[in-house]
Chain A
Amino acid sequence: MGRTARMRGYSVWSLLREGVGGHRGWRPAWRDAAPKAAYDAVIIGGGGHGLATAYYLAKEHGMTNVAVLEKGWLGGGNAARNTTIVRSNYLNDESAAIYDHAMRLWRGLGRELNFNIMMSHRGVLNLAHDDGEMRQLKRRVEANRLNGVDAEWLDAHEVKEFCPPIHIGRDVRYPVLGATLQRSGGVNRHDAVVWGYARAACALGVDIVQHCEVTGIDVRGGVVQGVRTTRGDIKTSKVASVVAGHTSVIADMVGLRLPIESHPLQALVSEPVKPIMPCVVMSNAVHAYCSQSDKGELVIGAGIDPHISYTQRGGFHIIEDEIAALLELFPIFSRMKLMRHWAGTVDVCPDASPIISKTPVKGFYVNGGWGTGGWKATPGSGHVFADLVANDEPNAIAEPYALTRFATGKLVAEHGAAAVAH
């Protein structure tokens, strides 16, 4: 346990040295590997979760003969598209456990990976606009407190103090009555997380294979034999699917039907401006959330497009609603400009909680169903999934997320208190 990656270190000193030397000494952050004929484990999906799984498999479980297979460019799925809100103030004990596990790992992740993931713990506000929401959010704050998760309640004036650009007048349709604040919540740089994990996993021996789509999974006698890909067949006894929006597609390759629906989820950025938004603001009722990137863009999102689709394309009316909602909270942003909008495909479970599970097919493991809010779990998800893949048994944090819960009814229902669950 506890291997450390061997890589050329990044530091101020190496930057200075390379600066003097014309930056000729830098090596590829990760090796663009060609697939081998066999691995001890194959991870499908080179997003944040897949790469984190590979990294922890190698680091914590000594499994280094591992490949991550990515059908496109590394991190080009939801990892590249998400709005990177990180928080752990979830209602249920099971959720608090996994998201807070992730939060603990985020804290030191930049150093651990020797890659600045720009983890900015700038605080996340969840606004309440009516009594029902106040009741719900206060309930959550109390649950967080008793679970040891950092959370506090702010009244409207404290909200304004924490986030000066917000409008807290009572004259609007959704007045801000108060908010929960998780100070340790915040945002980070999605690409850096992907690249940092890839680099560290690669340094431990993991093969990172891009442009390699898994097209089938060989199962004999209920046991995984290997995968078929666009770059040839690969033998392996463990296949770990971490493909976010395409989880049902991969599961279907072994004849497994999952209670997952895939939807478009959109996001957008404004033109960059000087710092104006100090924190992350989320609102269920108006249905929008916003933060500001280090480059200066306002990063804005909302809920899913209601239709089911793999197209990574949503309707513009959702963008219109999302911006209208944002302007309700921040009327000063009306003259800011929409610069770019896009969509990803998110995998939504009926209880709005993920699946981290063994399956009836021996050697086939599923990590998916994170829906609109899996980014924040990335290190935690990878960490516990690696444990499951290595030991063939879930640990205490992963255990509630078994597939069997849909048969027994032991759901981890997060939709009640978190309809916008980013």
Chain B
Amino acid sequence: MSVQAYRLEDGGRIDRTAPLTFRFDGRAYAGYRGDTLASALLANGVRTLARSFKYHRPRGVLTAGSEEPVALVQVGGDPATTVPNVRATELELYDGLEAFPQNCWPSLGRDVGVVNDALARFLPAGFYYKTFMGPPLNWMRFEGAIRAAAGMGRSPTAPDPDRYEHVNRHCEVLVIGGGAAGLVAAREAARTGARVILAEETGALGGGLLAGAPDAVTIDGRPAWAWLAEIEAELRAMPEVTLLTRTTGTGWYDRNWVTLAEAVLDHLPPAARDPRLPRQRLWRVRAKAVVLATGAIERPLLFHANDRPGVMLAGAVRAYLHRWGVAPGRRAVVATNNTDAWRTAFDLAAAGVEIAAIVDSRARPDERLLARAQALGLPVRAGSAVVAAKGRSEVRGAVIARADGGGREDVACDLLVVSGGWAPNLALYAQSKGAIAWDDDLQAFRPQPNGAAARFAGRAAGAFDLAASLRAAAVAGAEAAGIAPEHVPEVADDGVAYALAPAPKPQGGRVFVDLQNDVTTKDIRLAAAEGYRSIEHAKRYTTLGMGTDQGKTSGLNGVATLADTLDKTIPEVGVTTFRPPYKPVSFGAVAGRQVGELFHPRRTTAMHEAHVEAGAVFELVGDWLRPRVYPQAGESFDDALQRECRAARSSCAVLDASTLGKIDVKGPDAREFLNRVYTNAWMKLAPGRCRYGLMCNEDGMVFDDGVTACLADDHFHMTTTTGGAAGVLAWLEEYLQTEWPELKVYLTSVTEQWAVASICGPESPKLAAELFDDIDADPQAFPFMSHTSGHIADVPVRVFRISFTGEVSYEINVPARYGLWLWRLIEARGAKYGLTPYGTEGMHLLRAEKGFIIAGQDTDGTVTPLDLGMRWAVKNSADFIGRRSLFRSDTARPDRRQLVGLATADPATVLTEGAQVIAEPAERSGRTPMIGHVTSSYFSPNLGRSIALALIAGGHGKTGATVHVARRGAAPVPAEITATDFLAGFGERP
């Protein structure tokens, strides 16, 4: 195990009493609790963490946070829990952590992919658009190689064992960002008693203050870190304040609906992860006001080989010094265009790092800074810039030159600290469609207010001096809660005001703009030369900003490079669209608990238990699990089906019909409403009667069907198909709410309220008579298509004399809690009549024997009531949905596909449902014209032959004709067109 040679003697917010061991790239290292993987590796002198996407160049650590473009690793080797593309700069170290470098083979040190770097001149931006176009260089052959080279980390290959949760919250003020500004804003807002949520991305509150010495500044007279501890304690004591750490604002949607992604367990060693907790939570917060306190992102400088490990942003270096007690080098060059990076130079010097040069592109840096540098003996090169990094795989030096190109000097260093200035971190705001505007003084885009709902605090507001930043924060927090600020913190700092010059322009060489996707200034210039001049085109052509960092550190440099190429200003070029999420979020967290059993929960009926006991085979119908058949011991599926169907016509059978959609339709206009939504007439249906109805879409096509019963003049019980129930209700509501708001009708889904057992067959009247307390079951007295209410063993029931099988039937509805009891009662009482439970398959078969349709099986959204031969169900008297369409010339054409019966020439041949019908006895060699298709097909036990329903062009006029049903790999099956009621056609029964 290596020693932590770059760890400072003391300091940092790490726990030196808690040493940890971890592995990276197959080697063991030591770190401390409080480290990130990046800080621990830097402490160990490991600088190359990854290989780049395209050229496989070694890459190190650029930043200290979530904006990191290149220090990406694969965490964990377990196929179920491994995570690709994790930013080492955010990954909190735990004991036993194992991380792997990505995108290199065979190893990080020796990666064969570097040949791409040698061939770079032949692989400019968009090279793949210009070649591999066709034989012999066929794209599909190259694609495999290109895909394998791309992609960085690896997907897990086994299911995720962890859980994720959603949390829904409302609050008055949501503060995003837990730096000093966020804390001040939260405190101001919370004074009013408002509900305040503060979300901080990292594991600690403090933001930029943690990247400075504990006493670098004083706030309200207290040293920075002490002040932080106090304000945190103050906020924690406020009952309406929720402080969330490890929680990132990821999406800002309409009307301040904001998603926050919270990492709950990932920072803990696996053994310490509480199994009761989710791995991550997605907070879905609706905030009255949002305060953006997301700080700022530092802009890298552009020069040759600026991608070498050892080139680091100035703010990040300061964070490694103070937050983690790591000096990421021994001899540093600090290159900047602004005042702030000087602080890094001073802090490095204080930590014992030799400063080889402070290189400031400004000719006249601030006097105070110069004096301080002089006092510390630090060499300064004003009016100069770093034009190249030296070193083959890691930084070994810098080439410095004056703006006029003169005064070139090579300076040895192992750390090249860069700063091109700071830009407010406004991605989240911009993706909420908030306006941003270029600020020439800041050389950055700034958020622009868009009304009352968003406020900006701290550096996110473009206030880079702490005093101004906290003043903005206090105002933002107070105004977000609707008051004036009460307490603006007093700040004492080094008194150097933030100032910068435009970033120096690169002077040639290989200058990387997007370090993750290997986009160079040359690529951007090439894009422009080839006409990809819109920033969106240049982005897409070069892949600039399209990586996992979404261009957080590269965006501005990309725009600047394009602007320079096109001789435009940065605001003229503009930015690409910011999109959520702010940083990648686990799919698991996005799905939340909506997975596995809870994904579209499966529904079972009140009688389910009895079906399971009876050994039913189930099928999914819509969301419902329904018994399909009830095979007895040793019985095949088909035999069971045949037995059940024979019983239904010869003795008595029972079906669990609970899943049919049931909608309670009530109100003075209920009747009128039904008359408009059904194709048939409803104005005269008397209470106590039922009627079958068809519903059409606006285009006149059948959409659902079912029986509706009139309970009272203003009260109906509607049934729908099982699968269509939710859709029908939504559709009815849409009509009521948007088209006919004048109708007084109230719809309530009562599907779950009623359990339904449907008994049918010649013996069913006897069974019914035995069951009912107070209903005359005699089919004469209780006629077909009527219904009544009564009791079974004192339990209230509604019974409908309706039938989907063509047999005498009683549909018995009981309150759902009596469902199982009713089923068992029917089974017990029915045994002597040969009662047989039957499932959906039997129901389908029985109704097909009778020629009844199933909406959704015999119809597919292209079938009119007329096509079904159901003209009788279409009223002439009044309008209904779809009526106009129904009588268009083509909907009335006689050669439309119409529902017919099909009887195969060989009665034993059962056709395949979905098979296509052709007119000719054999398929053609080319295209074979189709005249229809088989919608339903069974072997009918009651008729002793196969039967089928089909939609066939002009079928109603072709009874008796022979058609052919195509099959893959076999000769078509001849079949005769028949009527749809097979019982009437073939059966001896009426």
Contacts and interface: CB of A to CB of B under 8 A. Distances in A.
A341 B579 contact: yes
B584 interface: yes
B140 interface: yes
A325 to B, nearest CB: 7
A337 B933 CA distance: 44
Interface string A139-151: 1101101111000
B526 A411 contact: no
A32 B543 contact: no
Contact of B548 (A19, A129, A138, A339): A339
Interface stretch (A57-65, A109-117, A237-245, A249-257): A109-117
A217 to B, nearest CB: 26
A119 B139 contact: yes
Given A120-B140, A120-B143, A130-B620, A336 B587 contact: yes
Nearest to A137: B914
Given A119-B139, A274-B151, A350-B699, A146 B918 contact: yes
Contacts of A339: 548, 550, 581, 584
B584 A337 contact: yes
A130 B622 CA distance: 9
Contacts, number: 320
A122 B856 CA distance: 32
Given A272-B548, A296-B151, A146 B531 contact: no
A161 interface: no
A173 B129 contact: no
A409 B891 contact: yes
B150 A296 contact: yes
Contacts of A145: 968
B151 A139 contact: no
A313 interface: yes
Interface string B565-600: 000000000000101110011111011101111011
A296 B128 contact: no
A142 B923 CA distance: 12
A110 B253 contact: no
B490 interface: no
Contact of B914 (A139, A146, A325, A336): A139
A345 to B, nearest CB: 15
A192 interface: yes
Contacts of B871: none
Given A139-B933, A142-B968, A295-B543, A335 B619 contact: no
A275 B151 contact: yes
B537 A74 contact: yes
B326 to A, nearest CB: 27
Contacts of B546: 295
B84 A271 contact: yes
Contacts of B80: 332
B129 A116 contact: yes
A134 B127 CA distance: 44
A396 B688 CA distance: 55
B83 A335 contact: yes
B612 interface: no
A5 to B, nearest CB: 14
B857 interface: yes
Interface stretch (A359-367, A381-389, A413-421): A413-421
Contacts of B621: 130, 132
B55 interface: no
Given A173-B597, A296-B150, A313-B254, A338 B927 contact: no
Interface in B920-936: 923, 926-930, 933
B888 A295 contact: no
Interface in B403-444: 433
Contact of A332 (B150, B155, B862): B155
Contacts of A350: 697-699
B580 A341 contact: yes
A338 B590 contact: yes
Contacts of A130: 619-621
A34 interface: no
B544 to A, nearest CB: 13
A375 B416 CA distance: 48
Given A73-B536, A130-B619, A409-B891, A136 B914 contact: yes
A409 B698 CA distance: 11
B27 interface: no
A148 B916 CA distance: 14
Interface string B908-920: 0000111110100
B160 A138 contact: no
A15 B933 contact: no
A223 to B, nearest CB: 28
Contacts of B391: none
A11 interface: yes
Contacts of B18: none
Nearest to B151: A296
A218 interface: no
A221 interface: no
A274 to B, nearest CB: 4
A333 B531 contact: no
A323 B534 contact: no
B862 A411 contact: yes
B143 A408 contact: no
A64 B573 CA distance: 31
A71 interface: no
B133 A114 contact: yes
Given A173-B602, A324-B594, A409-B890, A28 B153 contact: no
16 contacts: A10-B133, A27-B529, A132-B856, A138-B912, A139-B933, A146-B930, A165-B155, A195-B532, A271-B85, A272-B152, A274-B151, A275-B148, A286-B600, A295-B546, A333-B155, A334-B587
Given A15-B130, A340-B580, 11 more contacts: A26-B530, A73-B534, A73-B536, A116-B133, A118-B143, A148-B926, A173-B601, A324-B595, A334-B159, A335-B588, A416-B862
Interface of B: 80-85, 121-122, 124, 127-134, 137, 139-140, 143-144, 146-148, 150-160, 162, 164, 251, 253-254, 257, 259, 284, 433, 522, 526, 529-534, 536-537, 540-541, 543, 546-548, 550, 577, 579-581, 584-588, 590-592, 594-597, 599-602, 619-621, 697-701, 723, 856-857, 860-862, 885, 888-892, 912-916, 918, 923, 926-930, 933, 966, 968
